[in-house]
Structure 1
């Protein structure tokens, strides 16, 4: 019997082996995992709540048995009875490691709360929402003309507002008669009129003239982050925006890992569906509190999501999406009752609209980007890149639009990085390296000062410097390439080769020290050779997808590049191009679209005609399947170099001169090479 066990924490990805009987909180502290505790592990504060995962986790290479944690104890039982504990949660100070275990740290248990970067983008939207309020005067009942109250309400809507053939559910029918009489036959009805030939439905009814505003939510359900915007359906204003980590991360950081979890663990898809629906309910409730509106006044929600998230939200097993021909259960748009998705926080009659998917690996989120950015109306050739754990890519103009998805993985989100973390106060987000001295400076989330500026230590005293997030690692690797610390192949040079003691030997490879806070009890933050490889794999997948679309389109270059999502808003075009993430183009032709998928969701929420438009558009977008295209691997291998092994990047070379260094000492006697590949 083994004396220790492997403990893996998500979403940080940090892992380590611990003696059996070690409290989860102790393991988290030793690994530097962001798990809160105020009471010192006495089971009083409940800040250290965690969610264990059980079953087979192929992504992590472990199988978690049902007895991987110690049994539920009296402290946890007392806390649950008195204050309540979400089903499936444990207290990290009480649960002890008894076997290999995957543990998710929920957002509310993290000391450094994640900064959700998918904020709402300012956008002028022509208001024509599917859900509106109508004031009507209903004819009173007449013994000589016997008709039901509902039929006379429907007649009033037809005559006064030209709304034909309305329906309502039984719950609302039970309220109808007392409300009509209380309002003396004058009522305000909330009616949902969907797109196409959707039957109008009464969602609510109030006596008299009711001016209470109606609200809707636009939700971008991503693999890593769930971002939501609460909007006023009268004018489209965003009243509150927030987001949470997708709790499904504990089942796998990327989409195929989650499909694999569903394949290998009977009922795994049900677990993931329950987890994401609970998170959406919590997020909706938090938005309502932030905006100071009753959640029961939220009458409609629009979702955009990739195909795997789409199926798991709907409660459909995603197993078919894990193998060719990547068949969707349904690709069309969906109009549902919110209660079908267990969205119990909203109004009991609330409606849900889900944008159509384009293909098995190109989902409603890509359709939302197309709705927001409208590549099919562009005069020039535009490449639109929405980067997350899975990248959605669009290329086209008025003539034709192509789409594909590319499996970039979670490295751009700060995962699979040695000192990586999610975007939170204290995380390094900007990096510059002096090419002469090889000395770095950086900015962290929560402070506007560079690390070399006076007052930086005081400004970051509360948060400290805790790690490096996605934008930080991207800039760090690009800066290391420009400073001659990394060669084209992605190798980090030795101290002798680079001329700096910040390059340190670790086994047969080297790390670059970005920040050493160990003297003050802080972390040693380095960029490792493994980190470089993770970024190379991610950016190569992204670039290869773009090149496939360019091949299909028959073009060698693009006229402009639009970066969408949190990535686009926080990465400089220069660093993206130095890495070779995007095709060569003039830097002033690279723009950010912010959270384009979220913007597309808001457009669909506020303008019902846009739903018809995107449903027609998705049929005109041609899907390129990266998984079966033979040239993808060729492009991928070439794009693994920094910036590329064969593409020359002439526009980039006008503003950046990359050092011609080679640190591959195989057969070279260890001398510093000057050869540049490509």
Structure 2
């Protein structure tokens, strides 16, 4: 047996000779960022070998000076003897968001106000079919010796007007003790369905004032949990963190591949439930003194892969042509089925998916965006780890998905991270000195750069001449912030370690820029192809709604200048935040909204871009700054002037 001492985590583990270092870390809950899921293509799993020898090779991702200092790729390393390893804090930057982040009352109120307006504008009932009632049961006697559950059913039939009750075995197990503990005076929580109720919970005494539901957005990169008072419909609290599945790959394809490995599906399910959602729920319960048994309804939205992995359902056929998902509509689920930290009998509803790569997060987003009731043509773009697009109005809704990858949430970028404390979110560059001015979330030392910051940075690099329209760094510039490695790959230094007292320089490389250009090209070409499939062009758009995890600090102008968004009137653009969470909240607090969410899933048409004849040509054309056809971007043409040539 071999000992591996992760000095940075103060943890020593035992393994066998020849085991992969990345897998050793994963198996022992030590996070090492590996967006490519360990196929040696991203170079982000660099760790420092402090003692001992390993079986590894130097790759293009490791600089000569780093190699001399002992840096290796964990995914490309086998252990052969006792070693000591340090995981640099910088290399955990994308998991900085695994720290639980609390509620923002202003944003919570915005969600409530927006949802309420949608409910009022569409004459939806602002109520659910879940209720709570205090009941006083007759005590059993020799003459009145019916069983406990029949005693409850008799009361319900005689006093509440329902013909029958239904319940789970979990509920039944609680009944005998609870009714006697409270001298046969109890509170029942139940779901109404015509003349029948399903009892979800039973509590001693009168406890009619606590009734909660949870809306959850399961993103590929991050997860948000929102606790809601089902009486007032107000948001009690909200918490978010990174999705712990990220250690198995930054995007859905890598996770699907990992799910096919031994115990892979279980590991992924455990990561999202036991390591992500349940800790978020627990943090809210403790903070607000909530009993989990009073959480009786959940609405959960995630893309098709996330929904499948959440249920532990095999997903491999979803990524193989003809791209068939295992399910689209939510099966009947209760809390115990999933292992969530809620009432065992809690109702769980998954937002319906449309296709393999247009999931419940998009149907929930469309519900909140109001496309289904709009007279105007709305282009809806979700800039999360996956790029999904919807175009339409009340008469039709067309959708597609783009292979954008995780770049908009910092994945696939050497110093990338999600939008949390320490992330560079805004960048401007002085055209004379090429000195960057940074805006950092939390006004702290920079850790990395998030999606909105990357957009600003690439735009500023283009306008200041640091990069050309291919995204290549100008070798003729004599500036200490521009440098090239031994392989002639250029990089721009956003933050020198000496400037901020940080562990390493924060840089963006030509590889990073190329990754981002492909991501933005996928979004633009996807939108163009989707609209073209209807015989229209961008002039037909009345409004553009931007949703997703990229943050409120998305600069629309810079997004247009790099060719992410079409060059149309700026007043048509609006950022609508986490539309998936808002849609989940809507379905949680309004049974009418939940029915509309199901309708949206049935009515939306999916366009498979991979087989659409013009998509690949459009994508290749969009993989420049801003596009090979500069005429589509008159604003950029005017700004670049004589630099317009590729």
TM-score band w.r.t. shorter chain: 0.7 to 0.9
Q: Secondary structure at the match of 1:167?
A: strand
The verdict on how the C-alpha distance between 1:549 and 1:175 changes in structure 2, with shifts beyond 3 A counting, is same
State the partner residue of 1:543: 524
| 1:510 alignment partner in structure 2 | 490
Please identify, of 148-157 and 298-307, the stretch whose mean Cα deviation from structure 2 is larger: 148-157
| C-alpha deviation, 1:628, in angstroms | 2.5
1:575 is matched with which residue? 558
Higher helix share: 2
Distance 1:386 1:596 in 2: 9
Q: Please, which of 371, 382, 392 is the counterpart of residue 367 of structure 2?
A: 371
* Cα distance in 2 between the residues matched to 1:168 and 1:286: 29
What is the aligned partner in structure 2 of residue 469 from structure 1? Answer: 450
Looking at structure 2, the residues matched to 322 and 199 of structure 1 have their Cα atoms a distance apart, in angstroms, of 42
1:633 is aligned, of 597, 616, 620, to 616
Instruction: For residue 639 of structure 2, give the secondary structure of its aligned residue in structure 1.
Output: coil
Aligned with 1:15 (options 45, 57, 64):
45
Partner of 2:111: 122
Change in 2 beyond 3 A, CA 1:377/1:619? same
Contact 2:103 2:237 in 1 (8 A): no
Partners of 1:69 and 1:596 in 2: CA distance: 49
Q: 2:99, 2:241 within 8 Å by CA — same for their partners in 1? A: no
Distance 1:133 1:400 in 2: 40
State the partner residue of 2:8.
none
User: Is 1:478 aligned to 2:508, yes or no?
Assistant: no
Which residue is 1:390 aligned to?
386
Q: Is the 8 A contact 1:585 1:651 kept in 2?
A: no
Shift of 1:136: 3.7
2:594 corresponding residue in structure 1: 611
For 1:230, the equivalent position in structure 2 comes to 227
Q: Structure 2-normalised TM-score? A: 0.81
Q: Which deviates further from its counterpart, 619-628 or 9-18?
A: 9-18
Contact 2:53 2:81 (8 Å CA) reproduced: no
**Contact kept in structure 2, 1:389 and 1:407, CA below 8 Å:** no
Aligned to 2:292: 295
Deviation at 1:123, TM superposition (A): 2.7
The SS at the match of 2:348 is: strand
Change over 3 Å in CA distance of 1:208–1:106 after alignment to 2? farther
Give the unaligned 5+ runs of structure 2. Answer: 1-16, 23-30, 36-42, 55-60, 63-72, 120-125
Tell me how far apart the structure 2 counterparts of residues 403 and 116 of structure 1 sit (CA, whole Å). Answer: 33
Asked if 1:205 corresponds to 2:238, the answer is: no
**Residue 149 (structure 2) aligns with:** 150
CA contact (8 A) 2:375 2:393 kept: yes
Tell me the alpha carbon deviations over residues 606-637 of structure 1, each in whole angstroms, 9 at most, x when there is no partner.
Answer: 11222221112211100111233232211111
Summarize the Cα distance change of 1:352–1:521 in structure 2 as closer, same or farther, 3 Å threshold: same
Map of 1:245 onto structure 2? 242
- 1:124-145 per-residue CA deviation (whole Å, 9 max, x = no partner) reads 4353124321234556668778
Instruction: Work out the CA distance in 2 between the residues paired with 1:156 and 1:107.
Output: 57
User: 1:48: which partner in 2?
Assistant: none
In 2, Cα distance between the equivalents of 1:291 and 1:108? Answer: 29
Number of residue pairs aligned between Structure 1 and Structure 2: 581
1:50-69 correspondence to structure 2 within 5 Å: 62=75, 68=79
8 Å CA contact retained: 1:559, 1:585: no
Cα gap change, 1:199/1:266 in structure 2, threshold over 3 Å: closer, same or farther? farther
Residue aligned with 1:353, SS: strand
Partners of 1:580 and 1:643 within 8 A in 2? yes
- Structure 1 residues 352 and 114: CA distance shift in structure 2, 3 A: closer
Q: Report the equivalent of 2:4.
A: none
Equivalent position SS for 1:370: helix
Q: Does the 8 A contact of 2:427 with 2:436 survive in 1?
A: yes
Change in Cα spacing, 1:501 to 1:139, as seen in structure 2 (3 Å) is same
Two-structure CA RMSD over aligned residues (Å)? 3.7
SS of 1:602's equivalent?
Answer: helix
Query: 1:423 Cα deviation (Å)?
Result: 3.2
Cα distance in 2, alignment partners of residues 210 and 6 from structure 1: 52
- Give the Cα–Cα distance (whole angstroms) in 2 for the partners of residues 148 and 17 of structure 1: 64
Contact 1:568 1:593 in 2 (8 A): no
- 1:209-608 pair list within 5 angstroms: 209-263=206-260, 265-279=261-275, 280-343=277-340, 345-447=341-443, 460=444, 464-496=445-477, 500-506=479-485, 507-518=487-498, 521-522=501-502, 523-557=504-538, 558-608=541-591
| Alpha-carbon distance in structure 1 between the residues aligned to 2:409 and 2:248 | 17
Is the alpha carbon distance of 1:346 and 1:14 closer, same or farther for their aligned partners in structure 2, counting shifts above 3 Å?
same
Q: Distance in 2 between matches of 1:485 and 1:416?
A: 21
User: Which consecutive residues of structure 1, in runs of 5 or more, have no partner in the other structure?
Assistant: 25-30, 33-59, 72-94, 448-459, 662-673
- d(CA) in 2 for partners of 1:117, 1:540: 34
The match for 1:82 is none
The equivalent residue for 1:456 is none
The TM-score, its normalising length taken from structure 1, stands at 0.77
Shift of 1:675: 5.0
1:79-94 correspondence runs (5 A) = none
Q: Deviations over 1:499-543 (max 9, x none)?
A: 755333444343223222336653322222112101101111111
Answer yes or no: is the 8 Å Cα contact 1:70–1:97 preserved in 2. Answer: no
Measured after TM superposition, the shift of residue 202 of structure 1 is 0.6
Separation in 2, partners of 1:129, 1:105: 45
Tell me, what secondary structure is at the counterpart of 1:361?
coil
Does residue 176 of the first structure (1) align with residue 157 of the second (2)?
no
